[in-house]
Amino acid sequence: MKQQICILGSTGSIGTQALDVIRQHSDLYEVYCLTAHNRVEQLAAQAHEFKPASVVIANETHYERLKELLADAPDIKVYAGASALEQIVEAAPIDMVLTAMVGYAGLAPTIRAIKARKKICLANKETLVVAGELITKLAIEYHAPILPVDSEHSAIFQCLVGEDMNEIEKILLTCSGGPFRQFTADQLATVTAADALKHPTWDMGAKITIDSASLMNKGFEVMEAKWLFGVPADKIQVLIHPQSIVHSAVQFADGGVKAQLGVPDMRLPIQYAFSFPRRLRLDGPRLDLFGQPLAFFKPDLTKFKCLALAYEALDKGGNMPCILNAANEVVNAAFREGRCGFLGMADIIEQTMLRTTFEAAPDYDTYVRTDAEARRIATELL
């Protein structure tokens, strides 16, 4: 029986690479459902190729257009809207849900998928940033496995295979450093979104590429690692590693360090999340360790204030990471649209963290309330 996969965000960077994996292993995997936000033509083309049982376009204004584009494929059910997206993950035939949509919008459908006891292949890290405690609790309660897709977390996960009984002494979380690694504070003041979108080693969606340039992405990944692997933040060390070859490592009680290495290619972690514990063939360039020396540096938290703010939010706990995430989504979009400077992003996030109502023991409704309040405050501050 082929595994049935639902892809939330199939038109994005992760989504399209996941479809490439499925294309190469069509004997093992089948697409049950594809979803996108706005790119209706691309979604229809994917549906024509993969023939899913259903498609969902989150932005309802594109519904008629999508129906029209799929008029020649009457077997494919077409839905629209955020609630349709939340419902579709519960469909009985689905084995795995790949959460490859961007931002806070991933939270509600991920919760629904966990409650429907689906295997979660988690790319949408914002879900764990906002509500890591709730998500991990629900995953245990509903016996829903969460397989990491983020390259660093997949690397850590791969290092932990066979180590169930052994305590983690330290996680070594690597980070390319982004395009501004060697910039001075003065240079950072004038960088534009176009500069930030030129990532040196990874080709990703726009939002995460900006987060990688500000190192907010690495702050999010520290939180993601904490929840996925149950390791406190003080045992997670960030290392700037410009080559993006060591995807992360784990140090154990005997001082032994296991790392996962490879050329930067997101198809590997996506495929591993699908196929675990099996490894499947993946064509592409292979690692040449003679090619370049590997270097590691400490991150500069004064220059990259977003990373410092993420540590602060993690330390504070409660709904503070949710506040951090909401403010970041607002300033990230504003920076891309030229309405906020690069350094202004951290200032607005910091102010939003100070002004939004803090709650020490949040539940789901708290996250919804907090997200709305923090977005309003960050938008006013802009």
Least separation in angstroms between residue 201's CB and Mg ion is 11
Sign of the Cα pseudo-torsion (328, 329, 331, 332, in order): positive
Residue 377 annotated as part of some ligand binding site:
no
DSSP 297: B
Q: Which stretch binds Mg ion (CB under 5 A): 147-155, 312-320, 343-351, 365-373?
A: 147-155
306 binds, among Mg ion, ligand NAD, none (CB under 5 to 8 A by kind): none
DSSP H helices, the chain, are 13-24, 40-50, 63-69, 82-88, 107-115, 126-141, 151-160, 185-188, 193-196, 206-214, 216-229, 267-275, 305-316, 320-336, 342-355, 364-381
Residue with tokens 């997101």: 266
CA dist 189 and 169 (Å) reads: 38
Residue 126 annotated as part of some ligand binding site:
yes
Of 257, 88, 243, the residue nearest 156 (C-alpha): 257
Nearer to ligand NAD, 21 or 164 (CB): 21
Nearer to ligand NAD, 220 or 342 (CB): 220
Q: How far is the CA of 19 from the CAs of 24, 79, 203, 303, 324, in angstroms?
A: 9, 20, 16, 38, 32
Nearer to Mg ion, 150 or 373 (CB): 150
The three-class DSSP label of residue 34 is strand
Q: Which stretch binds ligand NAD (CB under 6 A): 4-12, 24-32, 362-370, 373-381?
A: 4-12
The angle that helices 126-141 and 364-381 make with each other, rounded to 10 degrees, is: 180
Least separation in angstroms between residue 189's CB and ligand NAD is 26
100 binds ligand NAD (CB under 6 A): yes
Q: Which stretch binds Mg ion (CB under 5 A): 94-102, 132-140, 143-151, 178-186?
A: 143-151
Of 73, 51, 58, 54, the residue nearest 12 (C-alpha): 58
Residue 214 annotated as part of some ligand binding site:
no
In the range 136-165, which residues lie near ligand NAD by CB under 6 A? 150
Tell me if the bond preceding 52 is cis, omega within 30° of 0: no
Least separation in angstroms between residue 208's CB and ligand NAD is 4
Residue 14 annotated as part of some ligand binding site:
yes
CA dist 162 and 146 (Å) reads: 17
- Tell me which residue has its CB nearest to ligand NAD: 12
Residue 248 annotated as part of some ligand binding site:
no
Least separation in angstroms between residue 114's CB and ligand NAD is 17
Q: What tokens appear for 77 in the block? A: 């059910």
Nearer to Mg ion, 14 or 33 (CB): 14
CA dist 8 and 162 (Å) reads: 30
Nearer to ligand NAD, 159 or 210 (CB): 210
The residue from 150, 224, 371, 373 that contacts Mg ion (CB under 5 A) is 150
User: What binding mask, one character per residue, do residues 108-127 give for ligand NAD by CB under 6 A, x or -?
Assistant: ---------------xxxx-
Of 266, 298, 106, the residue nearest 199 (C-alpha): 266
Residue 270 annotated as part of some ligand binding site:
no
Least separation in angstroms between residue 365's CB and Mg ion is 30
In the range 26-55, which residues lie near ligand NAD by CB under 6 A? 36-37, 39
Residue 359 annotated as part of some ligand binding site:
no
User: What binding mask, one character per residue, do residues 179-218 give for ligand NAD by CB under 6 A, x or -?
Assistant: -----------------------x-xxxxx----------
> Length of the chain in residues, anyone?
382
CA dist 209 and 217 (Å) reads: 8
- Binding-site members for 1-deoxy-D-xylulose 5-phosphate are 125, 151-152, 176, 199, 212, 217-218, 221
| Site residues for ligand NAD per CB under 6 A | 9-15, 36-37, 39, 58, 85, 100-102, 105, 123-126, 150, 202, 204-208, 266
| Site residues for Mg ion per CB under 5 A | 150-152
